[in-house]
Structure 1
Amino acid sequence: MELERVDPAVRAATAKLPVPDVTRPLMRRLIRFATRLLPTPALPGVTRQQVRFASGRVQVYRPVDGAPRGGLLWVHGGGFVIGSWRQDHRHCAETARDLGIVVVSAEYRLAPEHPFPAALDDVHAAWGWLQANAATLGIPADRMAVGGESAGGGLAAGLVQRLHDEGGPQPVAQWLYAPMLDDRTAADRSLDEVNHWVWNNTLNRFGWSAYLGQAPGQASVRPYAVPGRRDDVTGLPDTWIGVGDIDLFHDEDARYAACLTDAGVPVTLDVVPGGPHGFENWAKESEPARALHHRARTWLGARLAGHSAS
Structure 2
Amino acid sequence: MSRPALDPELRTLLADVPLGTELTHELVQQIRQMPSPPFKTDAEQHDVTLGEITLTVFRPEELTEPAPCVYWIHGGGMVMGDRFSQIDIPLEWLAELGVVVVTVEHRLAPEATGTTLVEDCYRGLLWTVENAESLGIDQVVVAGISAGGGLAAGVTLMARDLDGPEIAAQVLICPMLDHRNNTTSSAQYSGDPAVWTREMNEFGWRSVLGDLADVPHHVSPALAEDLSGLPSTYIDTGTAEVFRDEDVDYATRIWAAGGDAELHTWAGGFHGFDALYPDARLSVTARRTRTEWLARKLG
Taking structure 2 as the reference length, the TM-score comes to 0.92
Q: Which residue of 163, 167, 190 corresponds with 1:167?
A: 163
Question: Which letter maps to 2:294?
Answer: L
Q: Which residue number in structure 2 is paired with residue 14 of structure 1?
A: 14
SS in 2 for 1:276: coil
Q: Which residue number in structure 1 is paired with residue 143 of structure 2?
A: 147
1:15 shift after superposition: 2.0
What does the per-residue CA deviation read over 1:255-292, in whole Å, with 9 as the maximum and x for residues that have no partner?
11000001011110011000000011111111111211
Q: Give the Cα separation in 1 of the matches to 2:15 and 2:263.
A: 27
Question: Which letter maps to 2:29?
Answer: R
1:80 equivalent in alignment to 2:96: no
CA RMSD of aligned residues (A): 2.2
1:258 equivalent in alignment to 2:252: yes
- Trace 1:1-310 onto structure 2 (pairs within 5 A): 5-19=5-19, 23-34=23-34, 37-44=35-42, 46-66=43-63, 67-140=65-138, 143-185=139-181, 190-191=187-188, 193=190, 195=192, 197-214=194-211, 220-305=214-299
What does the per-residue CA deviation read over 1:132-156, in whole Å, with 9 as the maximum and x for residues that have no partner?
211011101xx21101000100000
Question: Which letter maps to 1:11?
Answer: R
SS in 1 for 2:36: coil
Question: Which letter maps to 1:227?
Answer: P
What does the per-residue CA deviation read over 1:11-69, in whole Å, with 9 as the maximum and x for residues that have no partner?
122222233566322211110010xx23434323x222222234521111111144353
Q: Give the Cα separation in 2 of the matches to 1:124 and 1:214.
A: 22
Percent identity of the aligned residues? 32
Higher RCO structure (Cα 8 Å, ≥6 apart): 2
Which structure shows the bigger proportion of residues in helix conformation? 1
1:209 shift after superposition: 1.0
Does the CA-based 8 Å contact 1:196-1:248 persist in structure 2?
no
Question: Which letter maps to 2:36?
Answer: L
For the structure 1 residues 83 and 55, does the alpha-carbon distance in structure 2 shift closer, same or farther, using more than 3 Å as the test?
closer
Question: Which letter maps to 2:82?
Answer: S
SS in 2 for 1:144: strand
Question: Which letter maps to 1:59?
Answer: T
Q: Give the Cα separation in 2 of the matches to 1:285 and 1:90.
A: 12
What does the per-residue CA deviation read over 1:99-154, in whole Å, with 9 as the maximum and x for residues that have no partner?
111111110111111112111111011101101211011101xx211010001000
Count residues in correspondence.
297
Question: Which letter maps to 2:143?
Answer: G
SS in 2 for 1:5: coil
Does the CA-based 8 Å contact 2:3-2:240 persist in structure 1?
no
Does the CA-based 8 Å contact 2:21-2:194 persist in structure 1?
no
Deviates more, 1:223-232 or 1:82-91: 82-91
Q: Give the Cα separation in 1 of the matches to 2:13 and 2:67.
A: 35
1:92 shift after superposition: 2.5
Which stretches in structure 1 are left out of the alignment for 5+ residues? 306-310
Which stretches in structure 2 are left out of the alignment for 5+ residues? none
Question: Which letter maps to 2:96?
Answer: D
Q: Give the Cα separation in 2 of the matches to 1:15 and 1:38.
A: 22
Taking structure 1 as the reference length, the TM-score comes to 0.89
